[in-house]
Amino acid sequence: MTTVIADHRSPGRPSVVTEALTGVSGLVRLIARRDRAVLGLWVLATVGLLAGAAASTASTYPSPQARADRYDQILAVPTFLVFQSRAFDDGVGALAAQQAFGGTTILAALGAALLVVRHTRGEEESGRRELLGSTVVGRQAPLAAILAVTLAAGVLIGVLGSAALISSGLPATGAVALGTVACGAAWIGAGMGAVAAQLTTRPALAAIGALGTFVVLHYLRGLVHLGGDRLAWLGWLIPNGWLEQVRPFADERWWPLALVAALTAALVAGAGALSARRDLGAALVAPRRGPATAVPALRDPLRLAWHLHRGSILAWSLGLAAIGSAMGAAGSAAVADYADLAWVADYASALRLSDPADAFFVYVVFVFVFVTAGHAVFLTLRLRTDEASGLAESLLATPTSRARWAAGHLGVALLAPVLLQTSLGVGLGVGAGAATGDLAGELTRGLGLALPLVPAVWVLVGVTVAAFGAVSRTAPVLGWLAIGIGIGAEIAVKAGVLPEAVYRAVSPFSHVSAYYRPTPLVYIGLVIIAGALIAAGIALLQRRDVLPE
């Protein structure tokens, strides 16, 4: 078909390639205009992560001795290998690169994959692609336009990231290498997003697929290191391993970047080929049919909410259980080895813990409780999306009251953190139990650390509901802001820049922190606050208009 057109085209006619790409420049401007905030935020956050790692490494390990200790610690504690990266040297730059690698590459890939999916499959599903497709826009133009924007943004991350590292006093060569690694991660993420968008008709699935692949490959890269030299060859099959092998600030190796560029080109070409072969709206994996009648249980808002959310709750629970068991296994061994090291003892005493092993698990649980909290807020915000989309209108026109509708999503949003934290606790317990042999004891410890954080998550659910009840559109802003404040306060108070009183006032998580030795009264208080916020939200919801947008 292509050759026929090519053979018969008259001199003045555009080539097939030009034809397919007509309208790219206009689309590029449209994307840049629509998503300038998202693009800016993503680029700055990624660059900020790089710069932050450089600054914190310099301040946390000021002396050569401290850096040498840290280097030994990274070599010995598998967690750092799995979650972050190998360290190739004990200089400030190499340690900063080690600390930044995991977070930076994942954030760079995340932004790129989400943007590409949003502007390809997302636009197709919403029907906007069809509207655009009827104008003078070539078949491949939307894919080409978002790839152009995302790859360019990746280069911008590289340039700004290098500049930030150089300005913090690190050697230029290493800075450029680390910046380029971040750029390479964004490129791989964009390529994976582009391919995933061709495979399924569901944007969310494409985004999770692309991102999940990148994150899983990151952990595989780490696990391969645990296998020692025997498995080293396997590392060369993993793109994240190529990025790691650039070794910024440690006698940089540039040639693995060629592999990254080649992979990006292959992914882009593959996505283009798939996109050229399929119909608009179709995918490689066709949507499946479902049951013609609903199961008898599907009859009220609570069970509807459970039906809608159970898949995501299961997936997140399994994820937390897997992470928990990896951390439990790796952590208990490492902490046993390092219990007498100064930094572990310092950390434990800072948390007022007598057992240094507890310190490590408290740290893990306090990091991952924000995942649980994010998921709970996400579930709560279904109230807002239901209202905006008109689903609430359909439900409320039946004999379902507003309170029952809200209670449906809220019931699941309150249950989910219990399930997720239980999974995390069980994961930690099983992992640590397998390592130490004391399964019952480790399970008790894991659950004992993970579950008491649930009331703090409930408070965030309460904040989100109260905002939703008052003014619908403030709910996402306040809900995510509450989580942002929680994470920010946690970091700021550890870094010593936030007064303790403020930390106690703004973060519900502070009150369940082991440091403040919470009494049963604290938990009851948090439950009462969450309950009062939820009651206020539902009461306010009764008084306002429920309108789709």
Partner 1 sequence: MSEPIEIRGLVKVFGRARALDGLDLTVTAGHVHGFLGPNGAGKSTTLRILLGLVRADAGRVDLLGGDPWTDATTLHRRLAYVPGDVTLWPGLTGGEVFDLLTRMRGGADPRRRAELVERFDLDPTRRSRTYSTGNRQKVALIAALAADVELLVLDEPTSGLDPLMEAVFQDCIGEAAAAGRTVLLSSHVLAEVEALCEHVTIVRRGRVVESGSLAALRHLGRTSVTAELAGESGALTDLPGVHALHRDGARIRCEVDTDRLDPLLARLAHIGTRGLVVAPPTLEELFLRHYDHSDLQASR
Structure tokens of 406? 């809200």
Choose one: 230-238, 294-302, 352-360, 498-506; the region binding partner 1 (CB under 8 A): 294-302
Q: Distance between CA atoms of 290 and 297, rounded to whole angstroms?
A: 16
Q: Is 473 in the site for partner 1 (CB under 8 A)?
A: no
171 contact partners, CB below 8 Å, separation of at least 6 = 93, 249
Nearer to partner 1, 122 or 324 (CB): 122
Of 253 and 303, which has the nearer Cβ to partner 1? 303
By CB under 8 A, residue 130 contacts partner 1:
no
Q: How far is the CB of 281 from partner 1 (least distance, A)?
A: 9
Least spacing, CB of residue 110 vs partner 1, in Å: 23
Q: Which two tokens stand for residue 88?
A: 């190739």
C-beta of 230 vs 289, nearer to partner 1: 289
DSSP assignment of 78-140 equals: HHIIIII-----SSHHHHHHHHHHHHHHHHHHHHHHHHHHIIIIIHHHHTHHHHHHTSS--TT
Using rule CB under 8 A, residue 517 touches partner 1: no
Toward partner 1, which CB reaches closer, 215 or 540?
540
Least separation, in Å, of the C-beta of 536 and partner 1?
A: 19
Contact between 285 and partner 1 by CB under 8 A: the answer reads: no
379-408 residues near partner 1, rule: CB under 8 A: 389-391, 393-401
Two tokens, residue 138: 């070539």
Task: Show the site string, 192-211: x = touches partner 1 by CB under 8 A, - = not.
Answer: ---------xx---------
Using the rule CB under 8 A, which residue among 64, 287, 441, 484 binds partner 1? 287
Structure tokens at 331: 């952590």
Within 200-255, residue ranges assigned H as helices are 203-226, 232-235, 239-244
All residues at 6 or more sequence positions from 7 whose CB lies less than 8 Å from its CB, including other chains? none
- Output the CA torsion 342→346→349→353 (10° steps): -70
Instruction: Out of 1, 136, 292, 501, name the contact with partner 1 by CB under 8 A.
Output: 292
Angle at 239 between CA 237 and CA 242, to 5 degrees: 90
Task: Give the span between the Cα atoms of 5 and 14, in whole angstroms.
Answer: 11
- Applying CB under 8 A, which of residues 265, 280, 298, 336 lies at the interface with partner 1? 298
Q: Is 340 exposed, middle or buried (0-12, 13-18, 19+ CB in 10 A)?
A: exposed
Total residues in contact with partner 1, by rule CB under 8 A: 35
Residues 293-323: b if buried by 16+ CB within 10 A, e if exposed: eeeeeeeebbbbbbebbeebbeebbebbbeb
Which range binds partner 1 by CB under 8 A, 111-119, 291-299, 370-378, 495-503?
291-299
> For residues 185 and 108, is the Cβ–Cβ distance under 8 A?
yes
Interacting positions 137-196 with partner 1 (CB under 8 A): none
Of residues 36, 128, 299, 352, which one binds partner 1 by CB under 8 A?
299
Contact (CB, 8 A) for 452 and 518: yes
Is 315 near partner 1 (CB under 8 A)?
A: no
For partner 1, the binding residue among 17, 262, 439, 547 (CB under 8 A) is 547
**Other CB atoms within 10 A of residue 11 CB:** 4
Nearer of residues 228 and 399 to partner 1, judged by Cβ: 399
Asked whether position 67 contacts partner 1 by CB under 8 A, the answer is no
**Cβ proximity to partner 1, 292 vs 497, nearer residue:** 292
Decide whether 8 or 289 has the Cβ nearer to partner 1: 289
Minimum CB–partner distance for residue 130 and partner 1 (Å): 12
Query: Between 90 and 124, whose beta carbon lies closer to partner 1?
Result: 124
Q: Is residue 411 a contact point for partner 1 (CB under 8 A)?
A: no
Cβ 30 to partner 1 shortest distance, Å: 25
Q: Does 134 bind partner 1 (CB under 8 A)?
A: no
Instruction: Specify the DSSP class assigned to residue 250.
Output: S
Residues of this chain that interact with partner 1 (CB under 8 A) are: 125, 201-202, 287-294, 298-300, 304, 307-308, 389-391, 393-401, 543-548
